[in-house]
Amino acid sequence: MDAYVFNDGSSRDLMSLTGTVPVSYRGNTYNIPVCLWLLDTYPYNPPICFVKPTSSMMIKTGKHIDANGKIYLPYLHEWKHPQSDLYGLIQVMIVVFGEEPPVFSRPATQAPFPAFPAAGPPNSSYMPTVSAYGPGPNPGVYPAYQYPGGNSYPAAAGPGHYPTQPPVSTVGPSRDGTIGEDTIRASLISAVSDKLRWRMKEEMDRAQAELDALKRTEEDLKKGHQKLEEMISRLDQEVADVDRNIELLKKKDEELSEALEKMENQSENNDIDDVIVPTAPLYKQILNLYAEENAIEDTIFYLGEALRRGVIDLEVFLKHVRLLSRKQFQLRALMQKARKTAGLSDLY
C-alpha cells in the first residue's frame, strides 16, 4: 500500500503494482516499466496506469500516453466487471505498446533532426516515488478514461535498446511539405487496428447478447420440460383412475344385466302386491288407503258414465255416490293423519 496524490491534493493509500511489460517491437523485446494503482472500488472501476521510465528513458507522448506517463486505453475506458481484469489489461498493453512504444532512450546530446543514440536497457527493479506520478483522479469520483490529444507515433528501435527518438522527417511533414512513408504506414496501422478493435468489440457484444438470449431460452425450455413432465405424470395417474372406473362400471353393468334377466324370467309369476313391499307398517297403511281412495274415485267416475248412457237411473246413481263419497272422505281423513304421523307432506 502506497500513498497516491489526487488532483485536489488529497492522498489515499492505494495498492500499487509495479513491474515491466514485455513488448515486442520490430523484432526486439523491450521491458516497459509500468505501475498500476488499484482504487478502493476495484474491480468495478479500472486501475490508474502509468508508465514509469528509468533515468535513461523519456516518455513518448501519443494518443495512449500523456506527458505525465498516464496510460489511456479503450480497454480502460470501456472497463466492465467481470469481463475486464488485470490479465486482459496487460495483454492489451503488450499489443498497443508493440505498435506505439511509450518510452524511448534519453538522448546524450540535443541536436536538430539527428537520430538520438539509444541508451541501455532499464533496470527492471526500478520503483519510482509516488510524487512522480503526476495528477490523478478525484478520490470521490472516478471518471471514465478520456483520450489525450496527439497522434504522433514512435520510430524504430535498435536491437537490445529501447526505441530512440525518431527523426523529425519520419513522424510528420518534412520541411518541403511532404509526409514520410513511416508516418503514413503508422497512421494506416493505427486506423486499421482501431477499426479491428471496434469490430471485434461489436462481434463480442453481439455474441454475448446471443449467448444471453440462448441461456434465457435454455432456462425457459428447462422450466417447460419440468412442467410437461408434471403434466404427463398427472395424465398417467388420471388414465389409471379412468381405467379402474371403466373396469368397475363393466362389473356393475354385468351385475345389472344379470339382475334384469333374472327379473324378466320371474315376471310372469310375480304378483304386483308381492313386488311392492313397504319398509314400515305405517307406510303400508298409507299405501292401502291411497289405493282404496283412488278405487272409489274410479267407481264414481264409471257410475257417472252409466247414468249418462241410461244404464242406471238417477235415484240409484245418487244413492251409491252418497255412500262412496262418505267412504272416500273417511279414507282421505285417515290418510292425512297417517302421512302427518310419518312426517310426510299434506297430499290435499
pLDDT in tens, 196-241: 888 898 899 999 999 999 999 999 999 999 999 999 999 999 999 9
CA distance 76 to 144: 8
Residue 294's pLDDT is 93
Asked if residue 290 is part of any domain, the answer here is: yes
Per-residue pLDDT tens digits for 146-195: 444 443 333 333 333 444 444 333 333 444 444 467 766 777 787 788 88
Mean pLDDT, range 18-23, rounded to an integer? 90
Q: Domain count of the chain?
A: 2
Residue 317's pLDDT is 93
Asked if residue 231 is part of any domain, the answer here is: no
Dig out the grid coordinates for 159 from the structure.
536491437
CATH, residue 43 = 3.10.110.10
For the full predicted model, state whether its pTM sits above 0.75.
no
Asked if residue 249 is part of any domain, the answer here is: no
Q: What is the C-alpha end-to-end distance of the chain, expressed in Å?
A: 110
pLDDT band at 123 (very low <50, low <70, confident <90, very high): very low
Asked if residue 18 is part of any domain, the answer here is: yes
Long-range contacts of 66-75 (CB under 8 A, 24+ apart): 66/148, 67/134, 68/133, 68/134, 68/135, 69/102, 69/133, 69/134, 70/133, 70/134, 71/34, 71/102, 72/145, 72/146, 72/147, 72/148, 73/49, 73/145, 74/197, 74/201, 75/46
How do beta strands 103-105 and 48-51 pair? unpaired
Residues spanned by the domain of 90: 2-168
What percentage of residues in the chain have a pLDDT greater than 70? 75
Q: What are phi and psi of 107, to 5 degrees?
A: -70, 145
What percentage of residues in the chain have a pLDDT greater than 90? 36
Domain boundary residue among 137, 168, 199? 168
C-alpha closest to that of 128 among 7, 9, 14, 16: 16
Per-residue pLDDT tens digits for 330-345: 999 999 999 999 888 8
